[in-house]
Amino acid sequence: MDWLSEVKEQDGEIFSLMKNELDRQRSSIELIPSENFTSSAVMQAMGSVLTNKYSEGYPGKRYYGGNEFIDEIEKLAISRAKSLFKVEYVNVQPYSGSPANMEVYLSLCSAGDVVMGQSLTSGGHLTHGWSSSATGKLFKSIQYGVKIDGYINLEEVRELAEKNKPKLIWVGSTAYVRKLPFKEFAEIADSVGAYLAADISHISGLVIAGVHDSPVNYVDIVTTTTHKTLRGPRGAMIMITKKGISKDPELPSKIDKSVFPGMQGGPHDHITAAIAIALKQASTPEFVSYAKQVVANAKALASSLMEQGIKLVTKGTDNHMVLADLSDISPGFGVFAQEALDKAGITLNKNTVPGERSSPFYPSGIRMGTPAVTSRGMKESEMKEIAIYIAQVLSSIKENKLPESKEERLAHIKQFREHLNENDEIKKIRQSVNELTSKFPLYSNMEL
């Protein structure tokens, strides 16, 4: 199928860039844990006639005419989400994860209210109250962290909650490799009368498949993006549990009003349809097998990295993610690692680690995940191979140290990037990566 024939005909520049990106995805090992490869069906829905419609409001209560089929699509997405996550209420209209989380705040809190979330440098998300986010500026944000071993410091969470009496507590993260302790957070939230929201954007596919504990019996609200381990489009959902409705029967209405008209206008109907398709796919035995393999691959990658002498936060993983602490090589080494691995065709991201000795801008760790490589069909043996490549790349650049001054850092990193082009070891690994990815075709039905 010629997917981009019209684009090629009408805008050769964009076509060329899109083709380059497809080639990059096909020839690279994608280890960013928040990225995945959607099915062709999901992509077709996103490029469909549904993008032409405007649908402010909710099914049966629209502000525009001609929504009889859009209503059915949205109701189908809601029904599937309710069934898969076993929740009482779902709103599928949030544009993405950050607006969804802000809509939760607006439903429950007033400006200046006390909220709690995991700090960004400890693996939390910006929208859980980090200082540079609007959520940290509009509300009085109390941030909890992790212990030096990388596990959430529940004693600190309890003490901070008792002292500050937050209106809302978040449990969820973007760089936490162990199972989230929903039950323990519920006990803390209940003891201080706080709402408890679980942001499971990273693990929602794992939750559906039963390879990660579900928060539904413990929290009031659940938010999730619909890509990552769910393998859907870039959208989001807000869900309310039975516990949440028991606490506040008006919560569904509050969320609906917060989404529209509080934060958004018309929903993206093409995304709603793609979400519905992804949810149907997630209800199959094949998806359960996929999610189990994601975790098996992450565990294999973790153990193989440790065999190569790479230090991992918590010495392993329970989910789809692995966090390597490279501070023993040198503080801030994550910057060099990300650049060099990218040059070798292994895509991941630099990340802070517990006890970070550098900064969020120049962190000492790297974050890896297995959703995308698992979607391509890779298994444990390939994870061992990838771990060897990562270790070889790190060894080839280990002499690099981050200068003290900002000006020196920028100049050194620029020079480092230039030298990567001359690194024969990295060129050799890049060739090995090309050979590996060629065995696992990506979107072979796309002819460009």
Q: Active-site residue among 234, 247, 398, 428?
A: 234
Q: Is residue 199 annotated as a catalytic residue, yes or no? A: yes
The question of whether 228 is a catalytic residue gets the answer yes
The answer to whether 338 and 348 have CB atoms below 8 angstroms apart is yes
Catalytic residue (choose from 56, 71, 113, 184): 56
Choosing from 167, 228, 376, 430, the catalytic residue is: 228
- Asked if 374 and 294 touch (Cβ cutoff 8 Å), the reply is yes
From 225, 241, 272, 347, active-site residue: 225
Assess whether 241 carries a catalytic annotation. no
E strands of 195-279, at which residues?
A: 195-199, 221-225, 236-240
Residue 54 bears catalytic tag: yes
Burial 222-244, CB ≥16 within 10 A → b, else e: bbbbbbbbbbbbbbbbbbbbebb
In DSSP terms, 2 is beta-bridged to 447
End-to-end CA, the chain = 9
**Catalytic residue (choose from 30, 74, 103, 199):** 199
Is 225 considered catalytic here?
A: yes
Q: Residue 158 has which token pair? A: 């309890």
3-state secondary structure 159-205: HHHHHHCCCEEEECCCCCCCCCCHHHHHHHHHHHCCEEEEECCCCHH
Query: Are the C-beta atoms of residues 276 and 73 closer than 8 Å to each other?
Result: yes
Contacts of 408 (CB under 8 A, 6+ apart): none
C-alpha–C-alpha distance, residues 203 and 173, integer Å: 10
- Using alpha carbons, select from 15, 93, 429, 39 the residue that is nearest to residue 270: 93
CA proximity to 392, closest of 424, 356, 414: 424
The Cα–Cα gap between 291 and 375 comes to 9
Examine the residue annotation and report whether 151 is marked as an active-site residue of this protein. Answer: no
Catalytically annotated residue among 54, 242, 292, 425: 54
User: What H or E segment, with its residue span, contains residue 424?
Assistant: helix 424-438
Phi, psi at residue 240, to the nearest 5°?
-120, 135
Burial class (CB in 10 A: 0-12, 13-18, 19+), 170: buried
Q: Catalytic site residues?
A: 54, 56, 199, 225, 228, 234
